[in-house]
Chain A
Amino acid sequence: DIQMTQSPSSVSASVGDRVTITCRASQSVSRYLAWYQQKPGEAPRLLIYGAFSLQRGVPSRFSGGESGTGFTLTITSLEPEDFATYYCQQAFKFPLTFGQGTKVDLK
């Protein structure tokens, strides 16, 4: 199975901060990578697919990228509604797998 590892596990930030979350796969997933946002008591929401593509209706402050250490989700300027848990998911091979999550909370 492909293991997805996110870092950090949690991050404390303030409104207006830039936040970057990293997701590393245990083997290549090409660019078959998605990012989801989940708020307490709610279902996940698709933010980014294909590693870079912004899902319709998602604010442009969210972006997906790739670095030497894996894939990244960047929020350029945190808004109050962005405090949530974020998950990456590989869509390359079954079983589909998620990262363990990164909680973004208020500093």
Chain B
Amino acid sequence: EAQLVESGGGLMQPGGSLRLSCAGSGFTVSSYYMTWVRQAPGKGLEWVSLLYGGGSTHYADSVKGRFTISRDNSKNTVFLQMNSLRVEDTAVYYCARSLPPELYFDSWGQGTLVAVSS
């Protein structure tokens, strides 16, 4: 059974950096599209970024130029490097996978909380 486990969240000051990790098990992350979706407290879901198996990426405008999605195949892990953090980046960050060529996310991690506050 596929499993995703996020880690790396925490409390940061505005302008800081953080790297989230998403470790996959039961499947090979490089064979899937991997995505990050966030949810601000009490709010809905917001798509953040997606990494294709071949390495191409997409980003939401709200994070473009500040966040970078990447992958370490040897660790079967996907990362989200978050720079220049803003208060509005405060959210639970979920990683999820989709089976190419679809963009529907059939397996999700439990989420990791990122709080940005001065």
Contacts and interface: CB of A to CB of B under 8 A. Distances in A.
Q: Indicate the size class of the contact surface on chain B.
A: 20 to 34
A94 B63 CA distance: 14
Nearest to B111: A43
Contact of A44 (B58, B59, B61, B94): B94
Contacts of B94: 43-44
Nearest to B94: A43
Contact of B104 (A91, A94, A97, A98): A91
A49 B45 contact: no
Chain A interface SS verdict (over half): loop
A96 interface: yes
A34 B106 CA distance: 10
Interface in B38-68: 44-47, 50, 58-61
B103 A91 contact: yes
Contact of B110 (A43, A89, A91, A94): A43
Nearest to A33: B104
Given A43-B94, A95-B61, A49 B102 contact: yes
A86 to B, nearest CB: 11
A103 B68 CA distance: 32
B44 to A, nearest CB: 5
Given A100-B44, A101-B44, 11 more contacts: A44-B94, A44-B105, A44-B108, A89-B104, A91-B102, A95-B58, A96-B47, A96-B103, A98-B44, A98-B45, A101-B45
Interface of A: 32, 34, 36, 38, 42-46, 49-50, 55, 87, 89, 91, 94-101
